[in-house]
A and B are shown apart, each in its own frame.
Chain A
Amino acid sequence: MSTADAQASLASSTSDDTTGQIRITLTTQDKSVAVPDVPLYVPLNLKRYGLSEVVNHLLATERPIPFDFLINSELLRTSLQEYIVQKGLSSEQTLTLEYTRSILPPTFLASY
């Protein structure tokens, strides 16, 4: 995540502090990048890039691996906040995110 991106996302999280976080769990079919099965409490403004960063942090990877995220087998294309609003959910729910190594081209990734 670029500094500008992160700062922008942080600004939005502090301006809307009370709805700021959500519980997630991360799962994967790919055993080579599996993370411990623990609940995480993450900022709602995280998108795919931020979530990738979380997985990479848990994996303690030297070079970051880009990931895609699926909720109920549907690719996450927005922030978690936008996702729950679209689906009529709330931050009281726990989201289960399945991640896979990203197959999207790097240039496309950079635009996130």
Chain B
Amino acid sequence: QVDVAKEEAYRSVEEARDLWQRHERATADLSAALCEQLRLILEPTLATKLRGDFRTGKRLNMKRIIPYIASGYKKDKIWLRRTKPSKREYQIMIALDDSKSMSDSHSVQLAFDTLTLVTKALERLESGQLSIVRFGETCEVVHPFQKPFTSEAGAQVFQWFGFTQVRTNVHSLVEKSMALFDEAKSDTKADMWQLEIIISDGVCGSHDQLQRLVRRAREQRIMLVFIVIDGLHKSAETGGIGTMSQSILDMKQVAYETDKETGQMSLKMTNYLSSFPFEFYVIVRSISELPSVLALVLRQYFTEIAEVRE
């Protein structure tokens, strides 16, 4: 069910429980706020329309009236009913970056806050199944869709994050998530909407390749939302002498490109985020910003779902 072995845990269950509770408390109000915002967004999409051919119901189906009379009142399924909103229509995967670039204390704090805030809000909403994966060099499931997400489950999830992985392979994360979503979909209904929320510092290698993959995910109706934890990194680790703050908003990407005419390589400098491969991303510097921005993005997403269903 989970891809991680017990021996690999970065902290004991007790410690993880304590950590979870602390973050849960710190984000309780925000989580309630996010839940309310999501409820407002979700409810109209969950309430189903009047439909069907029933012998009893709420309202007459006008299209059935003439055949009803013509059949000598035999074809009497002339009523519309409001069918029950179906539960578990969404599957939401949360992917948390476990790479070393996340390891400064501000980012870790913010990442754990984000994780508790979002999972608690979604749990309270009962919007569907929830899975959590971690990624870095590789990508592993630390909480599967099939398992209910309780506080204890949350605490256990915290055991698997040490922020020591020496690579950030977002490409393999998206690839694996797509496979996981595909698998999870097969044992339920076909018209499942799937959402992945990626929590990371946003430093993620080749943009071009990722862009193609993100497009493929979209074709499979997997929605990807990227939450960029802007940690105001301090470069005081090994190799660092300064303590300047660094925002991803200021980061420049350096690359060499071939000039089409001369065939010569030349240096190109662009804003890192200008080619960021994810359509929906939000930049978060303090946890209090998160509920409203995330709600904004998800509202956009759920509005799209509602339109497709019309």
| Chain A residues at the B interface, C-beta cutoff of 8 Å | 1, 3, 6-7, 9-10, 13, 17-21, 23, 25, 27, 37-43, 46, 50, 53-54, 57-58, 71-72, 87, 89-96, 98
Contact = CB atoms under 8 A, between A and B. Distances in A.
21 contacts: A1-B265, A3-B265, A18-B167, A18-B169, A20-B205, A21-B205, A23-B203, A23-B246, A23-B251, A38-B251, A39-B247, A39-B250, A41-B252, A41-B272, A87-B238, A92-B101, A92-B165, A93-B237, A94-B235, A94-B240, A96-B242
A54 B253 CA distance: 11
Given A93-B237, A94-B240, A41 B169 contact: no
Main secondary structure of the interface of A (DSSP, over half): mixed
A26 to B, nearest CB: 10
A37 B244 contact: yes
Contact of B239 (A27, A43, A71): A71
A11 to B, nearest CB: 11
Interface residues of B, number: 39
Given A17-B205, A18-B169, A87 B239 contact: yes
Contact of B167 (A19, A96, A98): A19
Nearest to B262: A3
Interface string B143-178: 000000000000000000000011111010000000
Nearest to B246: A39
Contacts of A9: 256
B190 interface: no
A91 B167 contact: yes
Q: Looking at B206, B209, B241, which has the most chain A CB atoms within 10 Å of its CB?
A: B241
B209 A17 contact: yes
Nearest to A23: B203
Given A19-B167, A20-B205, A92-B100, A40 B254 contact: yes
B264 interface: yes
B134 interface: no
B5 interface: no
B167 A94 contact: no
